[in-house]
Every structure is written in C-alpha cells, then in structure tokens.
C-alpha cells in the first residue's frame, strides 16, 4: 500500500509539533510579502556615486592586505601593523641607509660605552606628537618601559633581549643599559616596533589606544572602519628630520586611505578602474600591467625574506648531513620560484637574503648546491638508499617515504608541488600537507614531521641566531660549535665591519652544515598608477609617505 | 499561544547549554590557543613563555575546560561576552556591527529570493508544461547547482570588470547588491520549485475547478487562493534555509569583503581567538532558535488549521 | 498497437523494473540526468584511457597557459593539464557523493526511525539532538575539526555526511509518523509484532519512497557543501585533482587565467546539475503528486 505522500517540503515538526498541516488557506492577508520587505531595509540611501572613490589629486588610495589587529606597536609586530605605523604614523631614533647602516633620525647622535653595555642617545629638539605634546627622553623611556613590562606581553620584548633598563638622563638625553653587548640593537631601532607613541595619549586611552594611535609621523590617524579602511591625514605641524627623504617639508598629500582588500583578483581590477592608486600584488596578478604605460611596477629587490626547508634533525636520516645534502641537490630552486612566485625573486643558496647587511654572495655561491639530480642520486646510492627498479628508494627495508609540512598559502602549495615532483624524480616519495599558521608552527615542536617549508622575514642578520643558535627555534638542533660561536660573535660585535665578517663566517658554517636548504627570496611587487609620483621604499621597506604626490591629470 | 511560547523557550534552554558544552569541549581539544598562535615564530620560546603566561592567566586559558565554561556562564549572565584575545577589545564591539551586516545581507538575499522565486514559481505553475515552465524549472535547477563562490566570482567578473556597471569594491548601500544577488538567486531556486508545486496542487482542487466554472478569472484564482497557500509552504522552506543563510554565507562574505559574522567566524578559528568563536557560536545558535520559533509561530498564526499542542 | 492473437495472458505481467525503466526514459529530466551521471561514471572508470596527460605531472614553465591544441583546457598554476585533472576529478566527485550520502542516509534514517517509531522519550531525545546539531554553526564545527584533525579527504567527507544527518532524520521521522497511523501498522501490532519488527519490517519499506526522493535532492546539496568546504581547506589535499580544491586554489587567477577557474567550476556545476536533473525526474516518476 502506498503511503500518503509526504510533501516534498519537509515540514519541520518543531519542538512541540504543530500538528499535520494539510489544509490550505481560504482567506488570509498576505503577510509574507511585507515580511520580506521588512527584511530588506537597508541604511539611508545616499546619492553619492559608488564610483566616486577614484582618488582626487589631494588624496591617495593604497591597498593593505588585511585589517590590522590593532595599531599599537607594543602589542603587535605583525607585518601589516608594522607597515601602517612605520610608513605613516610613527618615527624612530634611527633609519637605515642604502647600505643598511644606522643613521640619525629622531636621535641626533649616540655614544657607546667602552664595555659595550650602554648606549647614550642625544635627541634632536623640536619634534612634537600629533596631540601637541613634546617628543623627549621621557617619551623614549616610556616606550621601552612599556615593552619591557611583562604585563604588556609585548612581542618586542624578546627582540631586544639583553636590554635591562632605559633612563632619561635629561630632557633630550636617553641611556640604554644592556646586560651584555648587543650588536643588532641599532639596526633594530629602525623598525616600526620601536616607533614612539605619545605617552599622554597612551595613558589616557588605556586599552582603547590601539584604535587611535598618536605618533610624530608625517600623517596623523583620522579614522578606522574595521575591516574596510584606515584614513590618515597630513600632520600640519610635521617637521622632516630624515635627510634621505626627497620632500623636506610638509607632505604633499592631504590624506591617504588605506583600503583593506584581501582578494587578489579584486585588487587588480580595482587598480584598473582607478579605485586604487597603489597596490601590492603577486607576480601573476601583476601581468596585465606589465608593459602598460599607465602603470609603474616597482620590484623590491632588497627583499628581506627567505623561503627554506628545514628538517627534524633528531630523526634519521635527517640527522645525517650527507642525506640533507642529497636533498639539496635534488631541488630545482628555479622551478620552485617559477611555480610559487611566477619567477619574481632570486634563488637563494645562503641562509640570509640579499637585502640584509652582511649577506655574502661569494660564500653562498661557493658552498651552495646547484640543481643536480644526478649528483643527488649518486649521494643517495652511496648512503645505501637504493631502489630496485627505479622506484622509491629504501635502506635496510625502510622506504624513503616522508612528509613535508608547510603553512597554508598559495605560494607554499605551489612550491610544495614542485618539491614533491623533484624528490620523486630521485626516488624519494613525500606526502605534502599544509595547515594554517596557528596549526602548523606549534606542531613543529612535535616529532611527527620530517621536513618543512618555512619562510622568515627579518631585517637583521640576528635572524640566524634566532633560528639556528642551538637548540634552534624548534628545539631540535644539536650544539654545533662552529655555528654557535660564529653567531654569538656576530651578535656581540659592535663594530660594523667586524660584525659583517662574523656574519659571513656564520653563513658559511650554516651552509656547510646543510642545516637548512635555502630556496629562494621573493621580491614584493607594488604597482602604482602613473599619476602617483614619489613612491619609493627605504632600506627596511617602509614607504616615504611624505614624498607621495598625485599628479593632476 | 502563551503556553506554547513558554514551552518552546524552555526547550531551547537545554539546546543552548548543550551548545556551550560542545564549544568548550572543542576548545579543550584544539591543540593551541590564540596566545601561542599569535606569538609563535615571533620570538624565541623563552621570551614567549612570559608573554604567553600573562595572557593565559588573563583569559583563563590555563584552567580546565569545565571551569572555563562555568566562568563563561557566569559572565554571560552579567551580559559580558568577554574580550577578544587578538584584538584586545570587547567582543561586543566586534560582533555588534558584523551581526547587523549579516542580518542585512540575509534580509536582502531573502527578499531577492522570495521575489524572484515566487514570481517564477507562479509563472511556471500558471503556464504549466509550456516553454516558460521548462525554462523556469531549468533556471531553478541552475541555481541550486552552482557553487556559491563560483557564482559570486562570476558576478564580479561580469558586472564589475566586463560590463563596468559597478566598481569592483563598491561603497555605500549599493555594496549589498552583488552579494545579496549571489545568495538570493541561489536561494530562489528551491522557493521557485516549491511555489510551483503547491500552486499546481491548489489549482487542481475541486473547488477551484468549480470557481473556474462559475467564471472566476485565472489571475484572481491564483492571487486569492493559490498564492497564499504557496506562501505558507514557502515560509516553511525559508525556515529551513535560515540556517544556511545565516551561517553559510561566510564564503560570500569573504569574496565580497562583506564584513559579517561569517567572515569573522572563519578568521576567529584561524587566529584561535576563542572568545570570539564562543560568542559567534552563541549568537548564531540563539538566532537560529529564535528564527525557527518565529517561523513556526508565524506559520501557526497564518494557517487556521494548524493546532498548537502546548 | 499490438494485434497479437497468441495466447497472451489478460494482464501483461511486465516487471516493475521494466515499467520503471520505461517511465525513466520517457521523462526528459531523468534521462538527461542519467546520461550525465553515466558520463561521470565512464570518465571515472576509464580515466587513464580518456585523459591525455598525467594529471599530476607538473611543469612550472608551462603554468597558466590558455587552452591550446596540446592542452584543451589549458594548464593550472603549476603547469598540469586541466583536462586530465577534470577527468580524474570525476572519481573524487563520485566518491564524495557516495560516502557522504551513505553516512547521512544511514545514520539519519536510523535516527528518524527511532524518533518516529520509538517511544516519546526517544523521540524527544533524538529531536533535541537534531536541534543542537542544526543550531550549532556548521562552518565553525568544520573549521574546528580541521584544526584538530588536520585537513584530509576523509575528514571532509565525514563532515559533509554528518551535516546531512538531521535532514534525513526529519524526513524519515515525518514519514514514519504518517505511516504509523495507517491501518496495516495497527494490524501488525495487533498481531503481536515487536516494535523492532514493526520498525524495520513494516514501516521502513513504506518510508523508502520519500526517502529516495529526499536522497535525490540532498545528494547534490552534499556535493555543493563539499566544494564549499574546500574553501576552508578541508577536503582532498594537493595534488589530488578534486574539482572543489582546484576551484579554490585557482581563484586568485580569475582575472588573469580564467580557464583555471572555469574548468573545475563548470565541471562541478555540470555534475551537480546532472544530479539535480536526475533527482527531478526521479521525483516525477516515483511521486508524481509532489
């Protein structure tokens, strides 16, 4: 017997059961339509054209990749916060010139004590914060005290490790005291993490300060629509203390809108329609603009990043230098660069990138490994990893089957595809997997991975110490005297030239140990409309916001 | 009706508790938290430890899950949703405007879905088995076969890049148009089909035939008899789809940069910012329960034949 | 019109299967849908013979090339042939549909039977459970699963399967409640059948019809959901040629290499459309009133 058909709409028998509904209405007012109408009320309709955002000559629209989590440099040193604060709002004691040497900015001069444990800065007079309060030694002290305070939970605290205390000797003199000589300090001072906030504003705003920063920079914070845009306006009382800025007076632009746009495809279109004046893009998205006279493409060849592979050194066979070396020969770095970044970057053979002072090209070339699968196979054979029929190798019954992990990103995923194929070609089978950073990085502390594909961005050679000084950033490195002593020397050597030599030695030691497989440095690309003038980046990658101008066309 | 409402509300309570329970159990199972997610890789383990300890104490992340649940429950009763770990500001500040945005988008999408769906359903039923019907059905099937983000991207491509009708990132109220269209056109398909079916069903009834024989116009029959009944059934469908619309819009929100709850939900997991996640779960669950109740009540009120068992 | 005068029986005992087949072929929707499904199955089964290239062979130099004689659909972001990947992708599509639908249908039906045919307490418990499942924002649950278990194809399929359970449970429960009141069920009880016997022996067969109808339109929804999950990284992992994953990975190239997005997107759409057509037709055949 056929049951009565259940309506094709599955009526939700709600919690109490509304009973069977099988009748139809005879007479009812139509309320559904009014319901629908009620649901559709939007905000007040304005008549402004949605296209009206194309930049008027006094203002620029610049893309930022994600919404900053908060604009307080003490709490956040992420790339996006760093860019916004460092380029437009905050200034620092020093800047780095084109060779990477620290030069005076808000500081007039400085002196290091004989034992290297104290640095005394003299500040340049005449600088004020956006809220009118004066910039002085107290402001400097305030920043560093806040960073050093454990209650701030500041990620900058670890960066300036040996710093013990900061004293305001007088209104324009500050003294830093360290527990031991710390060579990276001056270079690090140029970073936005050590830009100055008005102590008055910080104290007044409390936890809300991150929503309204007050600095000394060429632009002042005006508004922040979360998830959408940050607007900054010209600082009318700005004094340019930086000699390497092209514009030594007030900024040309009235205002700048930093527009949050996460979708790459959308960004390229926005540039084309004029909704954006400046945007960072990937090499693939940049192609439509290549050769177009209406746009200027700026490639940062001083990029300070490195994509590299590392190993779980506690596990065989990765504890064996020769095995790591074999893998190093097997990887087609140019291929990875092509797939991951469209060829936009440089192959890396050393543990530093070209943009970092102390990068030693000679060392890298001499001791690095070119792409040579035949050599890789020979080394593997000699180690006892053999394959019977040209398939996956094995040794003592253990097949060469490993995992490579990475963080989830289009670039790593494409890079991993190439690496997987390269290793398969020499008889090593790898499974690749990515997960988001919050999952990926902590799991490296556990022993269930073999190799990973990682990337750092840093401006100082001390990155090597952070990563490779045993026990290493993942607690996996055995002590290595050659590497450790070179790194310690580099960190403690305050003389710039001598330090560069130590850095070179450290590079050599790390490369020879095949500690990591450097793969590539990618070059960030920025595309600007032709009407934008004066867009250039300093050594650390911050934009000279005061130099920006939009030509009226 | 009053007793029914009270009963429904009481039955909702264990559901909410169950959801909170699951939330905190899940939190206990996830291997890392916002603090470690934020600082990993930015400083050495030794230096991170201090910062992590301070923040963990502040957000009670060092307590066992049931204790965290109790503290959260207590705070909830005071109206305190907590502070976002990553953003360091009250959760309410972040969720407030996003919830409104999601409601706006859902409302607009629903409006489009209803208008398009009901109209095409009526037309298809009235012109049954003609090419109009077939076309409407085909379009309906189209709509439910299209992956949401593919459709959204295509819309941007066609409307903003090829036809240049809208800027790629519109400002102001017009910004709701494309995302609402994406969501709404897809949702229109089941509504259309349901309208058509129940229309056909009604129009076949004996008393309709009788009315037709007496000379009543087709249009008036459709509007006075077919439509109200169809709309009732549509209401049911809408009730079922509410969950999809509210929570599942995260893809649309991400593609169109529409800053709603869905976008935040995805990000909160990425950041392991559990105070945000907890609040979103709570808000979503309550919305769902409330809307379901509203649909049921509306349904009962509109249809005199439905008994409410209190 | 047959004028056969041989000794034919009064009623042609055509098998029900033959009847069904005839109605199936006559219904355009079902026929086209079935054709598409057949195409998918053939591609899946004979992929190595049909695909012109190795779907996993990368070629960084040839990345993002437009359609050409060598690569009919073009190449993806690491230089793999898109046509081959689409063909092999049929396997993943069918696998996902099958596994997810199985999980949803079996668990959901069981729960629906218990709720509908069991005691009021069981009914209440099961329905509360379904309420909790539906009220919990699905995407958050999925993301958390990814965070805990890591992304994989099987976790993805299970996630989709579990999402579908409340739907099936409700349908089956509603059908059971309707059937319960029928006389033949009362008759079985009077004759002394146990609850379980009634549940599985009498009620279940009569619930099959609405169940199949629901299955026919829930499965394509499950396929859609699976592709949505790829958006958050759950599902087939690289380098597997699964259409949802391909679509998501290529979305940054929408404006510069649209073929990389169009190929998997259209394949997904086409396959789901086919399933919907098939479902539509099946509905018309099995349950013409609805």
**Given CB atoms, is B100 within the 8 Å cutoff of chain A?**
no
Give the pLDDT of residue A336: 92
Give the pLDDT of residue A17: 30
What would the two tokens of residue C33 be?
């849908």
Give the pLDDT of residue A49: 44
Give the pLDDT of residue A5: 28
C-alpha distances out from residue C188 to C154, C175, C194, Å: 42, 18, 9
pLDDT average, residue stretch A2-30: 29
Mutation site for C-interface testing, chosen from B25, B145, B155 by largest number of C Cβ within 10 Å: B145
pLDDT band at B37 (very low <50, low <70, confident <90, very high): low
Mutation site for A-interface testing, chosen from C61, C64, C78 by largest number of A Cβ within 10 Å: C78
Give the pLDDT of residue A417: 87
pLDDT average, residue stretch C114-132: 84
Chain C residues with beta carbon closer than 8 angstroms to that of B243: 134-135, 138
**Among chain C residues, CA nearest to A413:** C238
pLDDT average, residue stretch A352-371: 83
Chain segment A118-139, per-residue pLDDT in tens: 999 999 999 999 999 999 999 9
Higher pLDDT, B99 or A34: B99
Phi, psi (degrees; rounded to nearest 5) at A109: -160, 170
Minimum mean pLDDT range among A156-170, A469-483, C260-274: A469-483
**Measured distance CA(A443)–CA(A408) in Å, rounded:** 14
Interchain proximity C135–B289, CB inside 8 Å: yes
pLDDT band at A14 (very low <50, low <70, confident <90, very high): very low
pLDDT band at A71 (very low <50, low <70, confident <90, very high): very high
| Check: complex ipTM more than 0.85 | no
User: Percentage of chain B with pLDDT > 90?
Assistant: 1
Give the pLDDT of residue C101: 93
Q: How many C-beta neighbours within 10 Å does residue B249 have?
A: 26
Residue B28 has pLDDT above 80, yes or no: no
In which residue are the tokens 């050659």 written? A482
Provide the β-strand partners of residue A527. A279, A297
Give the pLDDT of residue C89: 93
Interchain proximity A1–C184, CB inside 8 Å: yes
Chain segment A218-255, per-residue pLDDT in tens: 999 999 988 889 999 999 999 999 999 999 999 999 99
Instruction: Scan residues 201-220 of C and list those with Cβ closer than 8 Å to A.
Output: 206-207, 209-210, 213-214
Give the pLDDT of residue A221: 96
User: Percentage of chain A with pLDDT > 70?
Assistant: 89
Higher pLDDT, C11 or A21: C11
Provide the β-strand partners of residue B16. none
Buried/exposed code over B13-43 (b: 16+ C-beta within 10 A; e: otherwise): eebbebbbebbbebbeebeebbbbbbbbbbb
* DSSP-derived secondary structure for C35-101: HHHHHHHHHHHTHHHH-SS-TT---GGGTTPPP-SSSTT-B-TTS-BHHHHHHHHHHHHHHHHHHHH
**Given CB atoms, is B149 within the 8 Å cutoff of chain A?**
no
Higher pLDDT, B131 or A47: B131
pLDDT band at B201 (very low <50, low <70, confident <90, very high): confident
Mutation site for C-interface testing, chosen from A1, A2, A5 by largest number of C Cβ within 10 Å: A5
C-alpha distances out from residue B71 to B77, B85, B216, C67, Å: 10, 16, 66, 59
CA angle C216, C220, C222 (to 5 degrees): 110
Q: Chains meeting B at 3+ CB pairs closer than 8 A?
A: A, C
Most confident option among A30-39, C24-33, C42-51, C195-204? C42-51
pLDDT average, residue stretch A91-108: 91
pLDDT band at B132 (very low <50, low <70, confident <90, very high): confident
**Given CB atoms, is C249 within the 8 Å cutoff of chain A?**
yes
Higher pLDDT, A475 or A371: A371
pLDDT average, residue stretch C46-62: 86
Residue B43 has pLDDT above 70, yes or no: no
Give the pLDDT of residue B153: 79
Give the pLDDT of residue B306: 56
Residue A292 has pLDDT above 80, yes or no: yes
Interchain proximity A4–C178, CB inside 8 Å: yes
What would the two tokens of residue A303 be?
């990029």
Interchain proximity B265–C143, CB inside 8 Å: yes
**Among chain C residues, CA nearest to A264:** C252
User: Percentage of chain C with pLDDT > 90?
Assistant: 18
pLDDT average, residue stretch A300-305: 86
Burial classification of residue A151, based on how many CB atoms lie within 10 Å of its CB (0-12 exposed, 13-18 middle, 19 or more buried): exposed
Provide the β-strand partners of residue A398. A395
Chain A residues with beta carbon closer than 8 angstroms to that of C237: 432-433
Establish whether the linkage from the previous residue to C239 is cis, with ω within 30° of 0: yes
Higher pLDDT, C199 or A364: A364
Give the pLDDT of residue A36: 31
Give the pLDDT of residue A43: 30
Q: Which of A40, B147, A126 is nearest to C229 (CA)?
A: B147
Give the pLDDT of residue A25: 28
Q: Which of B306, B308, B241, B292 is nearest to B12 (CA)?
A: B292
pLDDT band at A527 (very low <50, low <70, confident <90, very high): very high
Q: Rounded mean pLDDT of chain A?
A: 82
Give the pLDDT of residue A511: 85
Q: Parallel, antiparallel, or unpaired for β A295-299 and A102-104?
A: unpaired
**Given CB atoms, is C102 within the 8 Å cutoff of chain A?**
no
Residue A97 has pLDDT above 50, yes or no: yes
**Given CB atoms, is C220 within the 8 Å cutoff of chain B?**
yes
**Among chain B residues, CA nearest to A21:** B306
First to last CA, chain C: 32
Give the pLDDT of residue B48: 65
Residue A34 has pLDDT above 70, yes or no: no
What's the pTM?
0.79
Higher pLDDT, C21 or B308: C21
Mutation site for B-interface testing, chosen from C135, C155, C231, C234 by largest number of B Cβ within 10 Å: C135
- Is-contact A231 A222, C-beta < 8 A? yes
Chain B residues with beta carbon closer than 8 angstroms to that of C135: 15, 19, 243, 284-285, 288-289
Give the pLDDT of residue A1: 27
Residue B179 has pLDDT above 70, yes or no: yes
Chain segment C223-274, per-residue pLDDT in tens: 888 888 887 777 787 778 999 888 888 877 877 788 888 899 999 999 999 9
- Is-contact A6 C210, C-beta < 8 A? yes
Most confident option among A533-542, B147-156, B165-174, B282-291? A533-542
pLDDT band at A468 (very low <50, low <70, confident <90, very high): confident
Minimum mean pLDDT range among A328-342, B202-216, C52-66: B202-216
Q: Pick C136's closest partner by Cβ from B14, B147, B281.
A: B281
Instruction: Scan residues 338-367 of A and list those with Cβ closer than 8 Å to C.
Output: 338-339, 342
What would the two tokens of residue A446 be?
């556990």
């Amino acid at each position: 017997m056929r049951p009565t058909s259940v309506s094709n709409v599955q009526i939700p028998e709600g919690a109490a059961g509304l009973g069977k509904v099988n009748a139809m209405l005879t007479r009812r007012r139509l309320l559904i339509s009014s319901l629908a109408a009620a649901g559709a009320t939007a905000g007040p309709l304005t008549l402004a054209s949605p296209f009206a955002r194309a930049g008027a000559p006094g203002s620029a629209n610049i893309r930022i990749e994600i919404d900053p989590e908060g604009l307080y440099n003490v709490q956040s040193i992420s790339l996006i916060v760093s860019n916004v604060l460092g380029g437009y709002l905050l200034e620092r004691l020093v800047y780095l010139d084109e060779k990477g040497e620290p030069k005076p900015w808000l500081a007039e001069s400085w002196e290091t004590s004989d034992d290297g444990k104290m640095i005394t800065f003299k500040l340049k007079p005449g600088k004020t914060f956006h809220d009118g309060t004066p910039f002085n030694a107290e402001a400097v002290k305030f920043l560093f005290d806040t960073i050093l305070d454990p209650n701030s939970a500041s990620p900058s605290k670890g960066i300036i490790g040996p710093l013990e205390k900061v004293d305001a000797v007088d209104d324009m003199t500050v003294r830093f005291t360290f527990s031991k000589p710390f060579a990276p300090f001056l270079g690090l001072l140029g970073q936005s993490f050590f830009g100055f906030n008005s102590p008055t504003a910080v104290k007044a705003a409390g936890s809300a300060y991150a929503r309204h920063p007050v600095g000394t920079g060429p632009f002042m914070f005006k508004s922040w629509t979360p998830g959408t845009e940050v607007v900054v306006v010209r600082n009318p009382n700005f004094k340019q203390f930086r000699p390497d800025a092209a514009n030594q007076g007030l900024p040309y632009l009235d205002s700048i809108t930093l527009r949050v746009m996460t979708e790459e495809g959308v960004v390229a279109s926005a540039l084309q329609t004029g909704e954006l004046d400046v945007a960072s893009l990937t090499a693939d998205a940049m192609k439509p603009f290549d050769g177009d006279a209406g746009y200027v493409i700026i490639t940062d060849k001083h990029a300070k990043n490195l994509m590299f592979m590392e190993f779980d050194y506690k596990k065989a066979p990765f504890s064996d230098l020769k095995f790591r070396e074999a893998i190093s020969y097997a990887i087609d770095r140019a291929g990875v660069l092509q797939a991951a970044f469209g060829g936009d970057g440089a192959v890396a053979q050393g543990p530093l990138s070209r943009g970092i002072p102390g990068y030693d090209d000679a060392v890298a070339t001499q001791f690095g490994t070119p792409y040579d699968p035949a050599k890789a196979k020979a080394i593997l054979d000699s180690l006892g990893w053999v394959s019977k029929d040209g398939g996956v190798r094995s040794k003592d019954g253990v097949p060469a089957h490993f995992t490579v992990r990475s963080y989830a990103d289009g670039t790593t995923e494409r890079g991993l595809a190439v690496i997987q194929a390269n290793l398969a070609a020499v008889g090593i089978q790898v499974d690749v997997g990515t997960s988001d950073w919050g999952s990926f990085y902590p799991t490296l502390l556990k022993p269930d991975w073999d190799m990973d594909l990682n990337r750092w961005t840093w401006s100082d050679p001390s990155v090597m110490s952070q990563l490779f000084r045993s026990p290493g950033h993942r607690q996996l490195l055995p002590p290595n005297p050659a590497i450790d002593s070179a790194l310690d020397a580099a960190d403690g050597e305050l003389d710039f030239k001598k330090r560069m030599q130590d850095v070179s030695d450290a590079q050599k030691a790390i490369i020879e140990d095949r500690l990591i497989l450097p793969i590539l440095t990618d070059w960030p690309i920025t595309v600007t409309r032709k009407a934008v003038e004066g867009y250039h980046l300093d050594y650390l990658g911050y934009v000279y916001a005061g130099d920006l101008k939009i030509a009226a066309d | 009706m009053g007793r029914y409402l009270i009963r429904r509300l009481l039955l909702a309570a264990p559901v909410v508790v169950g959801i909170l329970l699951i939330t905190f159990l899940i939190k206990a199972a996830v291997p890392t938290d916002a603090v470690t997610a934020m600082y990993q890789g930015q400083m050495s383990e030794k230096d991170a430890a201090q910062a992590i300890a301070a923040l963990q104490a502040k957000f009670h992340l060092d307590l066992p899950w049931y204790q965290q649940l109790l503290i959260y429950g207590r705070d909830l009763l005071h109206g305190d949703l907590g502070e976002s770990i990553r953003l360091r500001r009250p959760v309410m500040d972040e969720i407030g405007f996003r919830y409104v945005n999601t409601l706006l988008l859902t409302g607009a999408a629903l409006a489009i879905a209803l208008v398009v769906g009901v109209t095409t359903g009526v037309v298809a039923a009235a012109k049954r088995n003609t090419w109009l019907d077939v076309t409407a059905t085909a379009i309906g099937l189209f709509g439910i076969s299209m992956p949401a983000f593919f459709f959204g991207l295509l819309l941007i491509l066609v409307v903003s890049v090829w036809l240049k009708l809208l800027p790629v990132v519109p400002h102001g109220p017009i910004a709701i148009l494309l995302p609402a269209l994406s969501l709404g056109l897809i949702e229109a398909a089941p509504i259309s089909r349901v309208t058509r079916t129940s229309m056909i069903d009604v129009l076949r009834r004996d008393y309709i035939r009788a009315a037709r024989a007496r000379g009543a116009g087709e249009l008036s029959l459709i509007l006075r008899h077919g439509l109200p009944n169809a709309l009732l059934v549509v209401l049911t469908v809408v009730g079922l789809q509410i969950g999809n619309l509210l929570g599942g819009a995260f893809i649309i929100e991400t593609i169109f940069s529409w800053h709603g709850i869905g976008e935040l939900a995805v990000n909160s997991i990425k950041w392991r910012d559990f105070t945000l996640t907890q609040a979103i779960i709570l808000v979503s669950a309550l919305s769902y329960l409330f809307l379901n109740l509203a649909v049921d009540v509306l349904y009962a009120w509109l249809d005199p034949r439905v008994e409410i068992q209190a | 019109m047959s004028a056969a005068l041989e000794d034919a029986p009064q009623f042609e005992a055509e098998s029900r299967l033959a009847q069904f087949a005839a109605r199936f072929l006559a219904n355009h929707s079902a026929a086209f849908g079935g054709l598409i499904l057949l195409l998918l199955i053939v591609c899946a089964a004979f992929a190595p013979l049909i695909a012109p290239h190795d779907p996993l062979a990368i070629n960084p130099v040839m990345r993002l090339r437009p359609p050409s004689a060598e690569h009919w659909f073009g190449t993806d972001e690491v230089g793999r042939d898109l046509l081959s990947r689409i063909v092999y992708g049929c396997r993943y599509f069918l696998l996902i549909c099958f596994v997810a639908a199985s999980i949803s249908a079996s668990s959901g039906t069981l729960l629906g039977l218990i709720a509908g045919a069991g005691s009021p307490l069981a009914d209440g418990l099961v329905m509360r459970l379904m309420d909790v499942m539906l009220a919990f924002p699905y995407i958050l649950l999925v993301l958390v699963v990814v965070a805990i278990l890591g992304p994989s194809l099987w976790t993805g399929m299970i996630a989709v399967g579990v999402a579908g359970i409340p739907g099936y449970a409700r349908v089956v429960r509603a059908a059971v409640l309707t059937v319960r009141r029928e006389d033949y069920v009362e008759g079985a009880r009077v004759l002394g059948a146990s609850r379980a016997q009634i549940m599985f022996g009498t009620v279940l067969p009569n619930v099959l019809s609405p169940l199949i109808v629901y299955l026919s339109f829930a499965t394509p929804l499950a396929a859609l959901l699976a592709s949505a999950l790829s958006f958050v990284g759950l599902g087939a992992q690289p380098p597997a040629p699964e259409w949802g994953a391909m679509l998501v990975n290529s979305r940054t190239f929408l404006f510069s290499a649209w073929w990389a997005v169009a190929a998997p997107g259209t394949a997904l759409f086409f396959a789901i459309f086919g399933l919907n057509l098939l479902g539509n037709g099946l509905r018309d055949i099995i349950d013409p009133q609805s």
